[in-house]
Amino acid sequence: MKKLIALLLATVMVLSLAACGGSSAPAASDAPAEDAPAASGKVDTSAMSEKEKAIAEGEIRNALAMLIDRNYIIENIAQGGQTPASSFVPMGMTDFVGGQFYENAGDPDDGYAGYWDTSAEAYEDNFEKAYEILTKYYDVDENGMLVGFPTLTYLYNTMESHKAVGEHLQAVFASIGINLQLENQEWNTFQNTRKAGDFSIARHGWYADYNDPVGMLDLWMSNSGNNDAQLGKGEHANLAVYDMDLTPWGYDIVVENGTWAETFDVLINVIKSCTDEEARFEMMHYAEDMLAATGALVNLYYYTDFYLQDKSVENVGVNPFGYKYFMHSTVNGASDSISVCLSSEPDTIDPALNSSVDGAITCQHAFAGLAKWTAAEDGSYTKIVTDCAEELVAPVVNEDGTATYTYTLKEGLVWSDGEPLTAADFAFAWNRAASPELGASYGYMFDYIKRNEDGTLAVEAVDDRTLVVTLNNLTPFWNELLAFTTYMPVREDVVANEGWATEAGTYITNGAYKLTEWEHDSVMVLTKNELYHDAANIGMQEIKCYLSDDDNNILTNWKNDTWLFVESCPTNEMPAVKAEYPDEFFIAPSTGTYFLLFNMNEPLLP
């Protein structure tokens, strides 16, 4: 067996190098495999219970995840100083017991962070363990190749680095007989395909929305619009195989053979209502344990934030959650215009429907919530201050444990078309985003707000400038939610036009910028909104957001000084760019994870 594993590992490296332009060598099937296991019946999956099958499926997914060489991906593809990941909650989130949350994921006594050792030295052992798991369920031929494993499709959005990751996966899986086909789509099409569950494996990445692990974990609730892994959706919704015991934290909740909604959803809701911080963090680790056991997520690395910024540009705000801010930027000391490329054509720039970082950046410039992110003393955009609210008030804690906030809007707030902006606009926008009818990806973000008997949010516009909000309980990151895109206001008469957020002429905003031009698949132009309440402190007059997912095109335009700020670079050009532009190549701290998704409704057992 050891000889076979060594042979397969050598084949993985050869195929990976070939995929990235390296030399080629004979495939594993061309070499002797004297220790290859003989084809024989393994576990009889036909005799398994539904629960045993679910456990086995999770074991297979995790085995496939362990075949992947994360260090190879980081060093040869990503090349941005990333850290390999075997857990989902990323670096940058602190834990109650001190240190970082990810460092205590899995069994802390194992001596490594996460659910298996991701060090380069452990890769051979991981590969061997993964192979042994897979051969419990699948026969192998005389060359050690798995027999009868279903063909998989890897869906990714068009970009050279994502393709290179797919080619590495393809090589790794091929080395043990698994056929992985690659399929790429343009960004907005890709997002909708993934959300619909039309894939077997798909690329994904997620930046934290606020500084608390629950904001990463609640993505995977069955009612989450961001739950593209289909956990608790489709056929998986009816799979009653999960156990949960919350008695260690004082809750009389024990579930045996429950559905994902009856276990994971319940757990997340308990976490959201828990005011004992130590218990809350312990339960969040428990939730990630449940998630990890499914194998639905293949965590590859924790993000860093790579970008190229021309030497003429100063004062770009960078947020660890992936946002970029150009309100106070200058180009050669001037504030006339800046040209940037952050993504291709966005799927949507409706604040309630957006679920991507690039769309959120547009919304952060175009809309103003009650609060906003701004520069801290170190220059990073990690400080929360008021925006439309006069102040970020302290709550009144009620007898039933709920917490009520009363906000007063600043005087004279108006929309970009001159119409008055009122507290009722906030109440409408939040109820719209939270409504099941809209199907917003982030509808669950409003679970912190108490519901009225009719199902609406406990948000009341007392008058034009007074907004009263009642939460289910004290929420430590509430102010960060107020600065989040989904909590930004929209106007009822504007959004009555379903196409309002698809053209510049109908995109009515209340923030620092208005959208004055949108040449689809080419450029969006944001122009300073002189009606914004803080317009006097907004320097940059115009932001031209060019739309492209072609890495070579992006780099060419940056080198030509056509685009002055970009966030991607061809993989094979990265070393040369680092060497040639050391003062314009930036890697900033980031709080996010690059990962792959398995579709939970795609069977993997023989």
514 has pLDDT over 80 = yes
Same domain, 286 and 338: no
In angstroms, the CA 68 to CA 588 distance is 26
Tell me, what's the pLDDT at 447?
A: 94
* pLDDT for position 10: 53
Q: How far lies 460's CA from each of 295, 375, 417, 436, in Å?
A: 42, 31, 25, 20
Asked if 327 and 270 sit in the same domain, the reply is: no
Same domain, yes or no: 107 and 162: yes
For residues 137-141, give the mean pLDDT. 95
- Residue 481: give its domain's CATH number: 3.40.190.10
Question: Does residue 603 lie within any of the structural domains?
Answer: no
Do both 421 and 522 map to the same domain? Answer: yes
| 297 and 316 together in one domain | no
- Short-list 185, 186, 184, CA closest to 170: 184
Give the percent of the chain with pLDDT over 70: 93
Assess whether pLDDT exceeds 60 at residue 18.
no
Evaluate whether residue 604 is within a structural domain.
no
When the pLDDT of each residue in the chain is averaged and rounded to a whole number, the result is 93
- In the predicted structure, residue 5 carries a pLDDT above the cut 60: no
Each residue's pLDDT tens digit, 310-321: 999 999 999 999
Residue 104, domain member (yes or no): yes
Q: Is the pLDDT of residue 383 over 80?
A: yes
Does residue 605 belong to any structural domain of this protein? no
Confidence of residue 444 (pLDDT cuts 50, 70, 90): very high
Q: Are 527 and 326 in contact (CB under 8 A)?
A: no
Cross-strand pairs, 469: 405, 459
Q: Which residues in 464-475 are b (16+ Cβ under 10 Å) and which e?
A: ebebebbbbbeb
pLDDT score of 20: 52
Amino acid in the structure at residue 173: F
Per-residue confidence band for 45, with pLDDT thresholds at 50, 70 and 90:
confident
pLDDT band at 378 (very low <50, low <70, confident <90, very high): confident
Q: Are 261 and 323 found together in one domain?
A: no
In this structure, what DSSP letter does residue 150 have?
P
At 418-440, the pLDDT tens digits run 999 999 999 999 999 999 999 99
| Alpha-carbon gap, residue 329 to 333, rounded angstroms | 9
Same domain, 186 and 324: no
Sheet containing strand 466-471, edge to edge, reads 396-397, 403-408, 466-471, 459-463
Instruction: Mark whether 213 and 269 lie in a shared domain.
Output: yes
Same domain? For 214 and 318 the reply is: no
Looking at the fold, whether 441 and 535 belong to one and the same domain comes out as yes
Least confident piece of the model among 3-7, 284-288, 300-304, 455-459? 3-7
**Residue 606 forms part of a structural domain:** no
Q: Looking at the structure, tell me whether residues 242 and 317 fall in a common domain.
A: no
CATH at residue 66 = 3.10.105.10
| Model pLDDT for residues 488-505, shown as the tens digit of each residue | 999 999 999 999 999 999
What's the one-letter identity of residue 34? Answer: E
378 versus 393: the higher-pLDDT residue is 393
Q: How far apart are CA 53 and CA 48, in angstroms?
A: 6
Note whether residue 98 is domain-resident.
Answer: yes
pLDDT of amino acid 118: 96
pTM, entire model: 0.90
* Domain count across the chain: 2
Q: Which amino acid is at 604?
A: L
| Host H or E run for residue 166 | helix 160-174
Mean pLDDT (whole number) for 257-261: 98
Do 48 and 157 reside in the same domain of the chain? yes
* Mean pLDDT, range 158-172, rounded to an integer: 95
pLDDT of residue 1: 55
How far, in Å, CA of 567 to CA of 80, rounded? 11
Model confidence at 408, in pLDDT bands (50, 70, 90)?
very high
Domain containing residue 533: 305-588
User: Has residue 576 been placed in a domain?
Assistant: yes
Q: Is residue 448 part of a domain?
A: yes
